[in-house]
Chains A and B, each alone.
Chain A
Amino acid sequence: MQEAVSFSPVKAEPRGSSRATLARVLQYVLTRAVSLFLTVVIGVYLSILIANMGGYVDQIRKAQIREQVGSAVVADRSLRLLPPAEMRRIIDERIALEETRLGLDRPFFLRSFTYLGNALSLSLGRAERLTSDSGSKQVRDVILERLPATLLLFGTTDLIVFFTAILVALFLSRRYGTFLDKAVIALAPTSAAPAWFYGIFLILIFASALRILPFGGMVDVPPPESTVGFALSLLKHLALPVLAMLTGSLFIAIYNWRTFFLIYSSEDYVEVAKAKGLPSGTIERRYILRPTLPPIITSFAFTLISLWSGAIILETVFSWPGLGRLLFQAVGQFDTPVIIGSVVIYAYLLALTVFLLDILYALVDPRVKLGGDMGRTL
């Protein structure tokens, strides 16, 4: 998500260090923090309501419990000979026990606030159905177990896209109108299709037809014993999803950054610098990159937090055991604690990033008036 903030270059302004400024800065930071926290609270509460479908999911869960307990009791040999009334009592007892365990005996409205409190204090609790591979039912463990997979896949791709795009864009913006420039820009419409779509094609070509790369998954089954073998297997499985994501996002990123750099390199002060005969390296660093730094930082920060949500469809297409698949499984099994856990962490990360960016902007660009235009956020 690129930003609609435009900055022009930094002029050396004397920074006033009066007490009034400090007070204003503090006041601004506090207001921002409170408003962002409220945003998180409301966002998370809405997610809780939605993830429970306003309490509707409870009915599904109760029905499931009834069915499971019923069949478990009927299947139990030691209970089969009991009279029907006795059996009924045992079933009811167990249903009540299970409902208490999941907190279904209290009205949803009250429970939703307990959920909210727990979520906000990051005590994510226990998953209802999903377990981590190590057997833990703690939401924290379930999420942490999937985190490396997503970080590996999206971290690799996003870093490649981010740095390649900026470097190539800077390079192209200086060769505006050349054949290479036009060729790369002609590829920008590839962004119309999402990564998973290219994934299907790549699987078809490299896995299905040529049989040189695996269809999906993260490592071979069984995983290779040696570290080198493991890494190679990982690389082999990483190739197609990374390539799919690169196809979907690299060219549009280059296009956007190129446009961006072009706008900045056609500013008057750049022309002046050129007229002065400054070396092009200096112009690039001091006159183009420096004023464009805030948007670049923003973009990088949002790239980093977008890691968190993974990509549900891409991970499903490639059977990649990441957070996106986890979320999909959690939704499929009505495992609300896992859904909420994933949402609340994302919300915190987002709010924290926005907050830090606000402060960072003030540091990088002294013209951003703290406490002035409150609207320019996010």
Chain B
Amino acid sequence: MNALRETFKDLARYPSAVTGLLIIGALIAIAIYTLIAIPYSEGIRLWRGGEDLWIENPRNARPAWEDFFFRTRLSKTIIVSTQRGAAKTVRDLPGGMRVVEISLPFNYPYDGFPSEINLFLEAQFKEQRPYVSFTWVMPDGRRIALGERSVRANERYSISLDRQLAQRLGRRPPEIALFAAPDATVDNATPIKGRYQLQIEGLFFEPHSDIEAKLVVYGQVYGLAGTDHRRRDLMVALLWGTPVALAFGFLAAVGSTLTTLLIAAVGVWFGRWIDAVIQRITEVNAILPLLPILIMIGLFYSRSLWVMLGAIILLSIFSLGIKTYRSILLQVKETPYIEAARSYGTGNFRIIFRYMIPRIIPVLIPQFVTLIPSFVFLEAGLAVLGLGDPVLPTWGKVVNDAYANGALYKGYYYWVLAPSAFLMLTGAGFALVGFALDRVFNPRLRTL
């Protein structure tokens, strides 16, 4: 414990190490928060739940704080529905028919146009579908008839995808034309601010029919992280990526360094043919290409993160690190205290575990710390190649999604930048601490 405190005291002398420790601390805090706030099953459900779950989110929306850097106010999502208190009046007509009038009003204060407009209708009827017509009322009093249709039990009217409507509005996309002056072209249009209204008039042919309506005017921005092409909140992936990345990097680093160290120590201590065999296996292992093998496993067998983890550890057991440890351990083996231990009859494995390995730990720790991000990036790299875990949301998967959907061509920079920033922070945090540890543990710099 004392040694640990000393180490921290030494580290605190390096500002870079303090920065690194703060970053790592923040990442761990995020990871713990995520595990508590969004439990595993919930995280998977949110990320893999399909479009229904996120239907009220805009597609490819930027993060809300991007507004901050510009003068203009980008639009946020507006939802008005009869279930949330929009006015609905029902009149009975003679002959069992009913007339319903729904008004969905909303205030539009933004400088940007909506990205999409959808109307969701839920109708109750036995046999005869209700017949409804929609009218759009603008702040300047203009009334635009959107259309009419008979409604199924669950109807989705994608106003912004209505081609006929776009034709009628002067070949302008409805989400622009419905918010702009009548003569404005697509390029110079600005939204008219004020109170809009969607009026729905329905004709029911059955006495107990009813209808609920929900209008979603999708914004250009959403949340702190924005959304992806499937309307998912990227925050879920960014948050969940943290514990996954940390766990992956840490386990891979532990698994590979500890086994490597143990094998090197066993080889050095027993020497002779055991050492020779270990040396040869290491050389064979150096020929095997790691990344192609991982790609093969991903393609043929399983893309699960944990299978990849196992494969990485297996392939790095006999890594070239053995050679480095071996050269140090060879010196340790000749030290007097080992000879003393041997002279009073200490067992082989006690010497290896209690006397040899602890001596090399200081050399190991800086390497260990710098190894963690390299595995995190390896996982991200596999994900970028399209071999990411099929279920878990990870940072690499987000970058891959962004790439596959042309985020860089279309200018959705946030989609790439946010996960990259997390990856960068992880890399920088561990690297800063690792480099400082190196100087603390190996005062005479390091012998390459």
Contacts and interface: CB of A to CB of B under 8 A. Distances in A.
Interface of A: 1-6, 35-36, 38-40, 42-44, 46-47, 50-51, 53, 56-57, 60, 186, 188-189, 191-194, 196-197, 200-201, 203-204, 207-209, 215, 256, 259-260, 262-263, 295, 309, 312-313, 316-317, 327-328, 331-332, 339, 342-343, 346-347, 350-351, 375, 377-378
Nearest to B411: A208
Contacts of B69: none
A193 B423 contact: yes
A295 B283 contact: no
Given A53-B301, A189-B428, A331 B295 contact: yes
A207 B408 contact: yes
A4 to B, nearest CB: 5
Contacts of A309: 289
B413 A196 contact: no
B411 A328 contact: no
B287 A44 contact: yes
A6 B447 contact: yes
A302 B258 CA distance: 26
9 nearest interchain CB pairs?
Answer: A43-B287, A192-B427, A189-B431, A192-B431, A208-B408, A313-B381, A347-B287, A193-B427, A43-B284
A200 B280 contact: no
B283 to A, nearest CB: 5
Contacts of B403: 200
A268 to B, nearest CB: 14
Given A43-B286, A56-B300, A215-B409, 6 more contacts: A4-B447, A43-B283, A189-B16, A189-B431, A192-B431, A259-B446
B292 interface: yes
Main secondary structure, interface of B, reads helix
Contact of B424 (A5, A46, A193, A346): A193
B435 interface: yes
| Among A46, A192, A207, residue most surrounded by chain B Cβ atoms (within 10 Å) | A192
Nearest to B427: A192
B448 A50 contact: no
Given A208-B413, A295-B448, A192 B428 contact: yes
A313 B396 CA distance: 12
Nearest to A339: B292
B373 A256 contact: no
B28 interface: no
Given A197-B420, A316-B385, A346 B287 contact: yes
Interface in B96-125: none
Given A201-B420, A204-B408, A46 B381 contact: no
B435 A35 contact: no
B296 A51 contact: yes
Contact of B448 (A2, A377, A378): A2
15 contacts: A35-B280, A38-B280, A46-B288, A186-B16, A189-B16, A192-B377, A200-B420, A204-B413, A208-B408, A312-B291, A312-B295, A343-B288, A343-B289, A346-B289, A350-B286
B417 A204 contact: yes
Given A197-B377, A200-B416, A53 B432 contact: no
B430 interface: yes
| Among B280, B284, B444, residue most surrounded by chain A Cβ atoms (within 10 Å) | B284
A309 B284 CA distance: 16
Contacts of A1: 320
Given A192-B430, A260-B448, A50 B296 contact: yes
Given A53-B301, A200-B420, A350 B287 contact: yes
Contacts of A317: 384
B275 interface: yes
B380 interface: yes
A56 B292 CA distance: 17
B370 interface: yes
B279 interface: yes
B279 A263 contact: no
